[in-house]
Amino acid sequence: MGLTDRVTRTGRVDEVDGSRRPEEDVESNARLTASTAVVLLVLLAAEGITILSVRSLLSPHIFIGMLLVPPVLLKIGSTSYRFVRYYRGSPAYRRKGPPPVVLRLLGPFVVAFTVIVLATGIALLVEPRSLRQSTLFLHKASFVLWFGAMTIHVLGHLLETTRVAPRDWVSRTRRDVRRAGARRWALVASVALGVPLGLLFVGRAGPWEAQRAPAVSAVHRFHHRHRVPPPAPTPARSQGPSSVPTTTIARPHLGGVSAITPPPVPSGIVSVPTTTPTKPSAHHRGKAHPHHHVTKKPKHGA
């Protein structure tokens, strides 16, 4: 492959010393930035899923959040390098030109909000409990601002990212710019470094999960304290066509006490209700009970 063919793929020859190194530096920086952006988009999408139910997915939320830290630092480093080279007057970066004005003005806010979101998230896991409420508010507020700025940032760079990101991973274009392997290993190492970092901080989710348990118990206690008592159960009745609870009435007579079931309650007579239902008496079945005392009415003139 001749020098002319290789130059047409990667850019123009440097006008000062006739070498390809400045143009390679621009292309190398663009490839690393785009590849890192793709990894971040995947991880941020997974983090967004945990936000939909953060109470039940708190451990994955923490793990992915810590996994994001090294790739975010790598991308901030690559974009900051381009920023410094451009404003220091590098001819190659000047030829490439800056991003559009809106994205250029929005870039510092994206970086600032990203750092605040990650820093407050880490602080919530390590700071004392007395400071958590204010830090949690700052974490949520910065996330809302970050989400708006990041949406514009991603849409503005989407076409360039999809065009440049695969170049270090496709064999046809990988060798056009040197040190493609170093760039790929830098990206893989950033993700690999985030794995033990996430596992280290997942163990700190316990106090947050324990903090939610008393709140649930308090709600249950409130409902238990103010609930309406259930109605008193009705006494069970025996199954049968003539199932009637009996009432024993004590009536004095000459031969003793007679049990009549069930009579009207006359005035002056004490009635003792029974709580246990009984079977129909023998009187209801038309037979005399063997334990009843039958008192015959004396005849007149006897």
pTM over 0.75: no
More confidently predicted of 234 and 257: 234
Q: Specify the residue for token string 């605040």.
A: 116
Mean pLDDT of the chain: 76
Question: Would you place residue 204 in the very low, low, confident or very high pLDDT band (cuts 50, 70, 90)?
Answer: confident
More confidently predicted of 205 and 106: 106
Q: Cα(103)–Cα(158) distance, rounded to whole angstroms?
A: 12
DSSP 3-state assignment of 266? coil
Contact by Cβ (8 Å): 286, 253: no
Q: pLDDT digits over 102-151, tens only?
A: 999 999 999 999 999 999 999 998 888 888 899 999 999 999 999 999 99
Of the listed ranges 125-139, 191-205, 272-286, the least confidently predicted one is 272-286
Looking at the predicted structure, is the pLDDT value of residue 202 above 80? yes
| Residue-level pLDDT at 22 | 80
Of the listed ranges 41-45, 195-199, 208-212, 293-297, the least confidently predicted one is 293-297
| Residue-level pLDDT at 166 | 94
CA diameter of the chain? 157
Looking at the predicted structure, is the pLDDT value of residue 270 above 90? no
Give Cα 221 to chain centroid, integer Å: 24
Looking at the predicted structure, is the pLDDT value of residue 272 above 60? no
Q: At CA 203, angle to CA 201 and CA 204, rounded to 5?
A: 70
Question: Would you place residue 268 in the very low, low, confident or very high pLDDT band (cuts 50, 70, 90)?
Answer: low
Q: Average pLDDT for residues 186-205, to the nearest whole number?
A: 91
- Pick from 40, 259, 24, 66: which is nearest to 161 by CA? 40
- Pick from 145, 155, 24, 157: which is nearest to 79 by CA? 157
Looking at the predicted structure, is the pLDDT value of residue 40 above 90? yes
More confidently predicted of 173 and 212: 173
Residue 187 neighbours by CB distance under 10 Å: 21
Q: pLDDT digits over 63-104, tens only?
A: 999 999 999 999 999 999 999 999 999 999 999 988 889 999
More confidently predicted of 28 and 234: 28
